[in-house]
Amino acid sequence: MNRFREAVLILHHALPAPGPGTSVESDAGVMDEVSAVADALTELDIPHRIAAIGSLAELPALLGRSPEQVVFNLVENLPPRPVDAAMVPSICEAFGKGCTGNDSTCQTLSLDKWRTKNVLKAAGLPVPAGLLVPPGTMAARADLPEGPYIVKPLLSDASEGIHADSVVPSAGPELDRVVRRVHRDFKHPALIEQFFGTRELNISVLRRGEKTEVLPLAEIEFRGFGGKRPPIVDYAAKWHADSFEFKNTVRVIPARLPPKLALEMRRCALAAWNTMGCDDYARVDFRLTADGQFAILEINPNPDISPGSGFAAALEKREIPFTAFVLAMCANAARRRQERLPGKALLSRPAPKRRSIRTHPVIRYTLPHDRNPILAFLKETGFFHDGEIEIAREVLDEALKNGPSGHYQSFTLLACDKPAGWICLGPTPCTVGTFDVYWIGVSPTQQGKGYGRALLEYAEKIIRKRQGRLIVIETSGRTLYDSTRGFYLASGYQESARIPDFYGPDDPRVIYTKPLIFS
């Protein structure tokens, strides 16, 4: 029996006028989602109201006068800044509302295809090789992975900006032309990605209460494409109903795969869900080669849920009624709201845990919500004075601001899903192949478990992949740092220089180095 009786606000974005960076068909598709959710709430006898916003600035006033405590979030596009749509959950939470779908951190991260690629890669998940090309620049041939290539706008979704001629066989003028088109039309970087595989699959993941479910695998078959059309789900295949691509990209669910391969891909989809911090519902898109190798293309938090969408098809195949999905999302949002504002439970079951907690350490790119715990445990170590903590804060903020494309590369070690260690590295300016390890620290409550060694070995692996040849680490020569210097020596570093009284009287600067050997 349905005991959920909270009123629901169905929130979507107003359809923008056509222009650069906007696509009429994909924006209009949100109205199919609105109708489907409204019909489900009507069937469930749950009171609801529909509202639209044209900009993020309109949201606070709307929420301030809205009595509904649960927001069904269908906001996907708020020009001119793509990231504005990702901020909707945080603002809803600030107004004490429960919001369906993925939170702002997850949405912001997944919106940036380059950061997503690097976070997944850092977690050990397979992704195609790629290169980011900022506006006003062209790709350096020496930096390109092996072709062929596909060129994508960095911050778009729904296949916007992706067409048949986005696939380029090799480096040269044609590749430069497609990159310039992305820069011109979208005003943000172009992602050049190695064109991987010939088959495309997607796996939807759903959380209902305490249970996270991997739904049946779906494959998009490219029928009749031959050798003249690249086998991709481009904008026409998604939105132009009268096009060859739309008519000949056929969803097959469940996908016809060997059981072992299907299981591996399901596990990978769930690992990607956990790595990205997904919640409620998401879709993981894959490419697959003829010999069974696969790679993750992207993560889609809050994917299209309209009738006929891949997510709706996966629900149907699992025999989950759409009304049950809508009810579960509203219940999840209500529970999260109550976790922030303790009160009487809306449903009879206890509030669920957001995600299962990993018991083994994981190292990944640092995310915004790691910032305060990292600074807290650095201070708790007792090794750093206030001025040094301020420098760590500046370095960490710079790394978070610029992400994997910036100078500072920041990585967090998680123990039981909580930040327990931090390392920050980067290439040494005006050198060839020399890298500095700027900061390394482990929470005092987690020391003695080998986490420092794990972080340093991980950094060495990253530097080796980037053709680094020498690592430099600097520390103090004070007695307080005896254990730190011993740690570096035990890790294969050698003292290469010592500058007396550098940090202060009787506080020398000790420089350790380690050459990297390539097999």
**Residue 428's domain is classified under what CATH number?**
3.40.630.30
| Distance in angstroms (rounded) separating the CA atoms of residues 389 and 374 | 10
Domain termination residue (choose one: 291, 308, 340): 340
The residue with tokens 């020569």 is 477
Give 409-445 pLDDT, tens digit per residue: 999 999 887 899 999 999 999 998 899 999 999 999 8
Taking the C-alpha atoms of residue 320 and residue 465, their distance in angstroms, rounded to an integer, is: 45
Same domain, 336 and 473: no
* Segment 323-327 mean pLDDT: 96
| Residue at 260 is within a domain | no
Quick check: 354 pLDDT over 80? no
Residues 392 and 430 in one domain: yes
Res. 355: pLDDT tops 50: no
Statement to judge: residues 333 and 375 lie in one domain: no
For residue 433, tell me if it sits in a domain. Answer: yes
pTM: 0.64
Instruction: Return the minimum-mean-pLDDT range out of 223-232, 472-481, 488-497.
Output: 223-232
422 and 330 in a common domain:
no
Does residue 150 lie within any of the structural domains?
Answer: no
Higher pLDDT, 18 or 239: 239
Asked, for residue 436, whether it belongs to a domain, the answer is yes
Q: Which residues contact 364 (CB under 8 A, 6 or more apart)?
A: 119, 122, 123, 275, 411, 412, 414
| 336 and 395 housed in the same domain | no
- pLDDT band at residue 327 under the 50/70/90 scheme: very high
- Who contacts 287 (Cβ-Cβ below 8 Å, separation ≥6)? 128, 196, 197, 199, 200, 201, 294, 295, 297
Residue 428 sits in which domain range? 362-515
> What is the count of structural domains for the chain?
2
Percentage with pLDDT > 70 across the chain: 92
- On whether residue 294 sits in a domain, the answer given is no
User: Do 330 and 418 belong together in one domain?
Assistant: no
- Cα distance between residue 364 and residue 142, in whole Å: 27
In a domain, residue 185? The reply is no
Residue 327 is part of a domain; what is its CATH number? 3.40.50
Same structural domain, 385 and 329: no
Q: How confident is the model at residue 28 (pLDDT cuts 50, 70, 90)?
A: low
453, 336: one domain: no
Same domain, 474 and 334: no
d(CA 119, CA 363): 10
Q: Are residues 327 and 443 in the same domain?
A: no
Is 79 within the bounds of a domain? yes
> Residue 507, Cβ neighbours under 10 Å: how many?
14
The confidence score (pLDDT) of residue 383 equals 79
Task: Look at residue 390 and tell me whether its pLDDT is greater than 60.
Answer: yes
Question: In this structure, are residues 375 and 389 in contact, taking their beta carbons and an 8 Å threshold?
Answer: yes
Who contacts 411 (Cβ-Cβ below 8 Å, separation ≥6)? 122, 363, 364, 365, 366, 422, 423, 424, 455, 458, 459, 462
pLDDT averaged over every residue in the chain: 87
Residue 405 sits in the same domain as residue 506: yes
- 411 and 465 in one domain? yes
If residue 389 lies in a helix (H) or strand (E), which one and from where to where? helix 386-402
Q: What is the pLDDT of residues 461-490, one digit of tens each?
A: 889 888 889 999 999 988 888 888 888 998
- Tens-place pLDDT, residues 290-316: 999 999 999 999 999 999 899 999 999
State yes or no: pLDDT of 202 exceeds 60: yes
- Return the SS3 of 435: strand
Cα within 13 Å of Cα(96), Cβ side: 9
Q: Is residue 423 situated within a structural domain?
A: yes
The contacts of residue 33 (CB under 8 Å, 6+ apart) are 12, 74, 304, 305, 306
